[in-house]
Structure 1
């Protein structure tokens, strides 16, 4: 992943959110939350740093992240169902799927969902879990918990940073 691209998007989102009217800032942060590797945590942090009220920043980034993650879970579920219909369970895993499967076996769905943002975007982790055969309802539940927890944590962190330096 080219980090310059993520940095450019983050910078554009910061400038757009900072210059937007208060009622538009929620939409900008909703979009930020939907972008992989920005998600609820950096979207919340960004919002608070540019002056959006923390509750709005966290809520908008979380909702954007949940919507995009749920869309990829639903898509991955449909693809997996179609691909495995009338087929034996033999499958070849990509190196990334092997890594996620290793952590799935070690930590289970809750652990992978909660710790996943430290390694890879939720929009990648969630469909990979479904593709590996994890129960969809568990992936939806624990991804939601993870997205909310990371959003609140980074929103709080952003608020601390703003109060420390301002």
Structure 2
């Protein structure tokens, strides 16, 4: 399937469903696991769903990474600690994973434990380079998007016969 075929599928199936996937995937803690299976079950193209969900989930991460210095300055001006330094709930889980497995582990487990957006902030807050966060987050999201789409299609095939 080439890019032109993907665009034809997009147009044929209606861009509204894919727009919903894009927006849903961008919402923190909704993540790919909540967006991809229903979209595929609603008969949207699994490949296109995975690609759109990846983009929707990754763009906010890029925004957070790009705006990291602005985030720090604003929090410091308000007298608050850097994001990722609070020791409660999701932050604490993310920090434990980051200390044990580094940025790769945090990025790969982020969608399950903290949400990828918070995982990126925790990694940055613990001193990881922006480049490292972007690379590992992109790889993680690509694996999660493809894996979730494949698992959904596989499950549908197994149930459907």
TM interval, shorter chain, is: 0.7 to 0.9
The aligned residue for residue 57 of structure 2 is: 65
How is 1:3-152 mapped onto 2 (pairs within 5 angstroms)? Answer: 21-80=13-72, 93-96=85-88, 97-152=91-146
Cα-to-partner distance string for 1:28-79 (whole Å, 9 max, x where unaligned): 1111110122222332222111110111110111110001221122233432
Note the aligned Cα RMSD (angstroms).
Answer: 2.6
The aligned residue for residue 149 of structure 2 is: 155
The number of residue pairs the alignment matches comes to: 142
Unaligned runs of 5+ in 1: 1-20, 85-91
3-state secondary structure, aligned to 1:95: coil
Alpha-carbon separation, structure 2, partners of 1:112 and 1:53: 30
**Could you tell me whether the CA contact under 8 Å between 1:34 and 1:68 is conserved in 2?**
yes
Alpha-carbon separation, structure 2, partners of 1:113 and 1:129: 9
Unaligned runs of 5+ in 2: 1-12, 77-83
Alpha-carbon separation, structure 2, partners of 1:151 and 1:30: 12
What is the deviation of 1:98? 4.6
* TM-score, L = length of structure 1: 0.74
Cα-to-partner distance string for 1:111-141 (whole Å, 9 max, x where unaligned): 1110122211111111121122111110011
